[in-house]
Structure 1
């Protein structure tokens, strides 16, 4: 075979055909390769995360990730987050956690239910909510 002809054959072999680049519908996968996480798994993951958070950056990063999900975290997650904020000595983050809950819930009754559930924690750690600090808003 002539050298020029060999180069042309090699180039053609290296170039995939259109049929070779198509993926059969049966072989496609969903965009996410992860299994759905249950609410209980989500709760356990974030409670553990906040219990092990060692500095303010880690606590705030965890809060950003936790509140980015399309759900309201369980009171146990909120308790772990507030305790973590106080452990790293950041009172303002502890107050802001309650503001985050207020934004995530659907109505005032749900927010009040969280406040009632976490009243003992707030008293124990000396946490006031924004409404108590600055009046109703």
Structure 2
């Protein structure tokens, strides 16, 4: 049985990602606020991420949710010598947002050896729930992906 590597700091893990948070997150204006084993939090502007009626695009909320759940899963997977790969996401949109920032907060539902699942709640600046999402990631050995 192979030995599990020691966990790295969140800063070290972020620095090891070949593309940082990724180009899509940059285009969407997603800003990481908190990154820990207990929760991952980020903000995203509504402006620039709207649909034709000026409302926050539902797909933008899903991008935020997938980013946060994937990052939380990656933090859990790293000490196991694995990487997180998204396999399922679903979202329910509760209300619209038309301006300002939305905040996504991801908390773990399940942290296993082969999968991780996070609930992500997206709220507006008043703290009102805009979207609830759940993301599941498979935890895959790094060598399986050629890493």
Q: TM-score, normalised by structure 1?
A: 0.30
Q: TM-score, normalised by structure 2?
A: 0.28
Greater helix fraction, Structure 1 or Structure 2: 1
Quick check: which has more Rg, 1 or 2? 1
Greater strand fraction, Structure 1 or Structure 2: 2
The one of the two structures with greater contact order (alpha-carbon pairs below 8 A, sep at least 6) is 2
